[in-house]
Amino acid sequence: MTDIRIFPNAEAVARAAANWLVETAKAAITDTGRFSIALSGGSTPKLLYALLASPDYVDQIDWSKVHLFWGDERCVPPNHPDSSYRMANETLIEHIPIPSHNVYRVQAELNPETASSHYETTLRTFFADADLPRFDVMLLGMGDDGHTASLFPGTIALVETERWVVANYVDKLGVWRITLTPPAINHARHIAFLVTGANKATRLRDVLHGERQPIVLPSQLIRPKDGKLLWLVDETAAASLD
Ligand code: 6PG
């Protein structure tokens, strides 16, 4: 079930996402005693993370019960300007009372294969060796080329069916990335895309309403097995939708 919600601007998207996350976290903590969320990198989620850390929201979540992961990471040290961990740390983690052992950073300073296998071990331990990880929430963005997480068009990670985490070389950028794989992402209870900006409009229409071509448009691979898929988009990104 795909739920597309359109908001006037990026700030409204962030606020809607924050409200939705507070409710989803409360429900998960009530049901299971914990809330596991995989964060995304890039620029879109910065507003959301800062909002969650603000006085309006910070006390609405029991951070001691929250477990923070990443859906992907750049292969750089944690203090590197490109690090998704660094961005989340500066906008959110440093400002919330979350126990440090509840923050599962990808050790992306290691060589890519080692980093990906270590992260998979971390996930398999947390999810008690289940067949697939069952995140309560998987936060995703979408690039203007239709990629999501670090599942870039034409890359080997798109066709991975067994592993939960892989090292993925992205020719287009000339870099290695660590990314969760489609099966691992699609087993989440809730998957939420945050997409804003006019530069995403054409691609968003192609992903949602165009022909199915997931190797070209990897965001089309995201189809939760038995979870919910939510798109939170602003009007500029939704401009080409019917
Ligand atoms: C990353 C993300 C990536 C991002 C998209 C959108 O590490 O960059 O995981 O998938 O969500 O590239 O990025 P923007 O939010 O900057 O447009």
The predicted-structure confidence for 194-210, as pLDDT tens digits, reads as follows 999 999 999 999 999 99
Ligand 1 contact via 222 beta carbon (within 6 Å): no
Taking the C-alpha atoms of residue 134 and residue 23, their distance in angstroms, rounded to an integer, is 18
The pLDDT of residue 38 is 99
Nearest atom in ligand 1 to the alpha carbon of residue 151 is 10
Cα 129 to averaged position of ligand 1 atoms, centre (Å): 29
> 68: Cβ–Cβ under 8 A, 6 or more apart, which residues?
37, 39, 88, 93, 98, 102, 103, 104
78-137 pLDDT, tens digit per residue, is: 999 999 999 999 999 999 999 999 999 999 999 999 999 999 999 999 999 899 999 999
Ligand 1 contact via 73 beta carbon (within 6 Å): no
Q: Specify the 3-state DSSP secondary structure of 83.
A: coil
Q: How far is CA 8 from the centre of its chain?
A: 22
Buried/exposed 51-68: b ≥16 CB within 10 Å, e otherwise:
bbbeeebeeebebebbbb
Ligand 1 contact via 149 beta carbon (within 6 Å): yes
Ligand 1 contact via 36 beta carbon (within 6 Å): no
